[in-house]
Structure 1
Amino acid sequence: MKAIRWPSNSTPARAPSYRPPSFASEKDYKQSDGGGLFMLVTTTGSKLWRFSYRFDAKQKLLALGQYPVTSLADARIKRDNAKRLLAEGIDPSANRNARSEHYWRCIRLCHSNESRRT
């Protein structure tokens, strides 16, 4: 996978319309935004925001959303939030998984309580 930087004059409105390189139809490629944020462009045409970071001496990857649902500005905000967690010594990926697990545990608990009432 080849990494490509955004043109230096890119703005949040212009960045995702950057023309793909000649090899784009052959394999996935990355367009770097900086600070670990990049857009993964797949051969099928999907544009996915990813944040690459290191935690406990391991390289990790966090999915931030799909373009255009998640704009460049939103992806940058999500990246900054993940960087804040890293500064506090918290793994953003593990934090997301723990929050999701807690959410589903609460849903199951509420559902089981409702079924007991009937």
Structure 2
Amino acid sequence: MKELSEQLINTVKELFEKKTINYFIGYKKNQNNLLTEPVILSSINECNQLVFNQYCPYNLVKYLITLKNRKGKIGIILKGCDARAFNVLLMQNQISRDKIFTIGIECKG
């Protein structure tokens, strides 16, 4: 899982560098460093706090609604088990597909 977190950090840094995204929705460790919590990043300097492991159960798709009126493109971790929620928001025109960059990660749960 540590390798996956490192790959994720490098990918998101590259997306910020190339100005592909302006925001990224992912996970970071919480205060006790055991569990995770959702995080919204807005710069490359924040990328090192990203993590992905077995303690990332939250569906991040709901945070797209929070950011939908901001200018720029939004990156997000999209687990396979959360894709249905993403598709429903698209079908209901609550989010615009061309404003979103997804990074798909296998859902083990």
Flag whether TM exceeds 0.5 (same fold).
no
TM-score by length of 2: 0.30
Bigger Rg over Cα:
1
TM-score by length of 1: 0.28
Q: Which has the higher strand share?
A: 1
